[in-house]
Chains A and B, each alone.
Chain A
């Protein structure tokens, strides 16, 4: 018998909260991602064992949705909106600036594990374009010049 790791124990707890029902798979994966910022491999195996769903099915769901990440993410997820309204307002310039300031490409995480940069489609607040969401906070009407200050604030918060 393999010794239960902490990830496994935590995952079991989350699965139990959702009533061990396989129809709640996405909600379970969302909660796991909430906990770890990404979906650890051991957690997916544990979900499979708990729900009696083959790992291949869970992997299908986990890779299908863009919201799930199988790679570790930083403390703050930086999402640059690339929807129509934001694109027209020059969101691509914000993306370039963020890539330069964070010294990473889209989809990558900074060395200090603080930020993960991602491009997303519409965030649903087109009237505030161009928009960047950092760690769940919307930054409306963002300009390039504000970016260094905002990043500094998040770094300070830790």
Chain B
């Protein structure tokens, strides 16, 4: 066990725990957008910054990626941290003026949009945290989406912006997206995501549409469970 201090509170946690988890386990809230338990961390949103003091030195670190150390002193809400966090939010607001999630976070911290950061009009709600790309690779395992280009043109897309042949329409990317950038249109029989329309399958027992056909085929192929067994929705299983 490692002993350290967060916001004046003595805390001990397992070696390898990230500061963010240790803080949350002890009721200390640190705002984040991109940290999600389902995927690996990237520290992309930079909202979870805290001040880490070791000996005489204090520096700003991302708590979602910083493993706890013996004797460190973490401040999550002091003036220095809040200044950084406010700046990050101002920049995120400029990138995604349409995002309600970011606007709510900003209003909680009393941050207004800054005229010096010109608002982007073409980025929609994407903060480029790469959570969708990681969930598609790490959890789903198909890697249907990725980043394209770089710098100001960087965006999440399928290869060549075309219908992906490997996408199974599971919607994990839309689920994990912290700002709701990825759009998934669902009707009873179909689901449209990344420009491709997927046919939904009905449950063999109750007849309700419950999952895209391609997803069931993929699960069947990967797990070896016959497609017939998968054709029953979770409620009827």
Interface of A toward B, CB cutoff 8 Å: 41, 44, 54-60, 63-64, 70
**With A54-B142, A54-B143, A54-B166 as given contacts, are A59 and B150 in contact (CB-CB < 8 Å)?**
no
Interface residues as binary, B156-174 with A (CB distance below 8 Å gives 1, 0 otherwise):
0011100010100000000
The 3 closest A-B pairs by CB, nearest first: A54-B143, A56-B146, A59-B159
| Residues B158 and A56 in contact, CB atoms below 8 Å apart | yes
Task: Tell me the bound Cα distance from A63 to B146 in angstroms.
Answer: 11
Candidates A54, A55, A59; contact of B137 at CB < 8 Å: A54
| Residues B150 and A56 in contact, CB atoms below 8 Å apart | no
User: A64-B149, A64-B150 provided; 7 other pairs, C-beta below 8 A?
Assistant: A56-B136, A56-B145, A57-B143, A60-B148, A63-B149, A64-B147, A70-B160
Interface of B toward A, CB cutoff 8 Å: 133, 136-137, 142-150, 158-160, 164, 166
Inter-chain contacts of A59 with B (CB < 8 A): 146, 148, 159-160
Q: Write the nearest CB–CB distance from B104 to chain A, whole angstroms.
A: 31
Q: List 10 A-B contacts (CB under 8 A).
A: A44-B159, A54-B142, A54-B143, A54-B144, A54-B146, A57-B146, A63-B148, A63-B149, A64-B150, A70-B160
Q: Which chain A residue lies CB-closest to B137?
A: A54
| Residues B145 and A41 in contact, CB atoms below 8 Å apart | no
| Residues A56 and B160 in contact, CB atoms below 8 Å apart | no
| Residues B147 and A60 in contact, CB atoms below 8 Å apart | yes
Inter-chain contacts of A64 with B (CB < 8 A): 147, 149-150
| Residues B149 and A56 in contact, CB atoms below 8 Å apart | no
Q: Write the nearest CB–CB distance from B151 to chain A, whole angstroms.
A: 10
**With A54-B137, A54-B166 as given contacts, are A60 and B160 in contact (CB-CB < 8 Å)?**
no
Candidates A41, A56, A70; contact of B144 at CB < 8 Å: A56
Inter-chain contacts of A44 with B (CB < 8 A): 159
Inter-chain contacts of B164 with A (CB < 8 A): 56
Q: Write the nearest CB–CB distance from B94 to chain A, whole angstroms.
A: 24
Inter-chain contacts of A54 with B (CB < 8 A): 137, 142-144, 146, 166
| Residues B150 and A63 in contact, CB atoms below 8 Å apart | yes
B137, B144, B145, B160 — most chain A CB neighbours (10 Å) = B160
Task: Tell me the bound Cα distance from A44 to B159 in angstroms.
Answer: 10
